[in-house]
Amino acid sequence: MSHEALVLCRLDELVEGQARGFDPLGTGKDSVFALRHDGEVRVYRNSCPHLEVRLEYRKDRFLSVDGRQIVCYAHGARFLPDSGLCVYGPCLGDSLSALQWHAEADWLVLEADQLEAYAS
Ligand code: FES
């Protein structure tokens, strides 16, 4: 098991009401995304619990127009940004997979072993 740390971005680059996708495993697709909601940073695996596809319709577009909910643009599921719980759509009651992160100085860092199961 690897304990490699994956640096995603500076914490101050995550702005309230916006989200950013990241490709920490270098697969060519953003496999995780991060957002700031009510001041708290959250990181989720970029996979909808409905059909296990990526959520965004284009780079970094994970949120509703008002920035208050996460949206899967495949079939319109909506998720709470603080818990990842689906509150509308075909996967109602399911949740996005939250990822643990920590701060190193001003940087948002993930442990790589959380993502290895998703790399294949
Ligand atoms: S794949 Fe996300 S709502 Fe269907």
Amino acid 112: pLDDT: 85
Among residues 42, 39, 31, the alpha carbon closest in space to that of 81 is found at 42
Amino acid 86: pLDDT: 98
Q: Number of folded domains in the chain?
A: 1
* Structural domain that includes position 85: 5-118
Instruction: Classify 84 in phi/psi space as left (phi over 0), alpha (psi -120 to 50) or beta.
Output: left
Does the Cβ of 53 fall within 6 Å of ligand 1?
yes
Burial 37-50 (b: 16+ CB within 10 A, else e): beeeebbbbbbbbb
Structural contact between residues 11 and 106, judged by C-beta atoms closer than 8 angstroms = yes
Amino acid 1: pLDDT: 46
Q: Each residue's pLDDT tens digit in the chain (120 positions)?
A: 456 889 999 999 999 999 999 999 899 999 999 999 999 999 999 999 999 999 999 999 999 999 999 999 999 999 999 999 999 999 999 999 999 999 999 999 998 888 876 554
The alpha carbon of 105 and the centre of ligand 1 are apart by a number of angstroms equal to: 36
Can you tell me which atom of ligand 1 is nearest the CA of 49?
2
Does the Cβ of 77 fall within 6 Å of ligand 1?
yes
Q: What is the CATH number of the domain that holds 85?
A: 2.102.10.10
pTM of the full structure: 0.93
Amino acid 43: pLDDT: 98
